[in-house]
Structure formats: C-alpha cells, structure tokens
Structure 1
Amino acid sequence: MYFVDRAVAVIKPKQAFADWLNAVPDNDMELSLDSLRADSTVILIPEFNEPEEGVAYIDEIFEQLFAMELSSWYDDPSLWPQDRSLKTFWEWFDVEIHSTLIDSVDADLNNAPLE
C-alpha cells in the first residue's frame, strides 16, 4: 500500500439536488436522496494542513464541480438551474473532506482529463 500525496473530497447531493433532478421534464424516474447519495463522486484535492484549506479549495473549483454533477445527469445546460452560485452549490451538496489517501493497488494510475 502507498500513501498518495493528495486529500479526498466526497461530493454528496442534498435534497435540493434531488428535487431539481426529479423536476426536470425529461426525467421519467423518481430518484430518492438515499439512492443519489449511495454512489457519490470522489475527487482528489491537494494535501492540506487544516480541513478549512480543503473547503477553500472546493470553493475555488465549485463551478467545475457543479457543472460536472449536473452534466452527469443532463448534458444540455438549458435544463440546468439558472442559479449556480457558490451559495447554491453548498445548498445542493454536502462535501466530506478526508486528509489521508492510500492506494492499495500496486499499479500505475492512469489520468485522462474530463471533457
């Protein structure tokens, strides 16, 4: 096992996200908050000394995170909410910050940029 020089943020939808998702006209399924939170997005973030530094980093990249979460359901931005402010991001998502990341796989990581 290997220490990785990153921290982790887990992005978990809140009820406001579930409400939006279930209200989208194209959506033909009712999704519960529990089902949405069962398999959350995990991102690597820079190492930090204080948890507040991890939160500050999320604040810096919230627009990308918000768009990533919305586009994972609908590619068409016209279906996205108009208000995608930092305040709305924090109303729509919980973010868990974890300082220790261990790689249990003895193989190189493959990186590819998000499109």
Structure 2
Amino acid sequence: MSDYPKFVLNRSVVMLVYKQPFLDWLNIADPNPLPMTLEDLQDDNDTFLIPQFDDLRDSITWVEKRWQIVSEPRTPACSGHHFAG
C-alpha cells in the first residue's frame, strides 16, 4: 500500500486560541463555573477548515465575514452549520 494520499484538500485552517478575556467571560457567564485555567482551554482548541486563498488577507476577510459561525459554542444544536466556500 502506498504511503501517498489518494486525494488532496486545498484548504486552510483557522484555529481558535483562547486568551484570558475569554476565560474571564466564561467564568462570569457560567453560574457554576468549573475550575479552569487558560492552559485547560488551550489544550484542545477548535479548528476549522476554510477555503484556501492565495493571499492571507483574503483568508482573514473570509473569517471576519463569518465570525459568528466560528465563535458560536460547539454544541449538538449548532452541529448543522457548514461553511460555504
């Protein structure tokens, strides 16, 4: 069996890297917050495949137009969302 992939996805990746303000908000928003550190949040970041662009600015623009989809909680109720290329 060949080690080479049988297909290639031409995509870029966006990774959400949480910072202290998000952790602060999370602790305020949750009436019963679990003890959590910034390291805990960053242990398993959310990642998203987005269309591949030749220019980084186009990738940034694509994400900025869809920030609500990217930033909404990852719950079963939201799992029906799909990015349009």
TM-score by length of 2: 0.72
Pick the aligned partner of 1:114 from 67, 81, 85.
81
- Counterpart of 1:5 in structure 2 is 10
Which whole-Å CA distance do the structure 1 matches of 2:68 and 2:35 have between them?
26
Q: Deviations over 1:57-90 (max 9, x none)?
A: 1101011222x2xx348x8xxxxxxxxxxxxxxx
Number of positions where the alignment pairs a residue of Structure 1 with one of Structure 2: 75
For structure 2, which runs of at least 5 residues remain unmatched after alignment?
A: none
Report if the CA contact (8 A) 2:11-2:49 is conserved. Answer: yes
Residues in 1 aligned to 2:49 and 2:32: alpha-carbon distance in whole angstroms? 30
User: Residue 22 of structure 1 corresponds to which residue in structure 2?
Assistant: 27
**Runs (4+) off by over 6 Å:** none
Is the Cα contact below 8 Å between 1:14 and 1:33 reproduced in 2? yes
Structure having the higher Rg: 2
Q: How many percent of aligned residue pairs carry the same amino acid?
A: 23
Residue in structure 1 matching 2:41, options 36, 41, 63 = 36
Q: Does residue 1:61 correspond to 2:28, yes or no?
A: no
Q: Mapping of 1:30-109 within 5 angstroms? A: 30-66=35-71, 68=72, 71-72=73-74
- In terms of fraction of residues, the more strand-rich structure is 1
Q: Which is further off, 23-32 or 8-17?
A: 23-32
CA RMSD of aligned residues (A): 2.4
* Structure 1 spans left out of the alignment, 5+ residues: 76-111
Distance 1:11 1:25 in 2: 20
Higher-RCO chain (CA-CA 8 Å, sequence separation at least 6)? 1
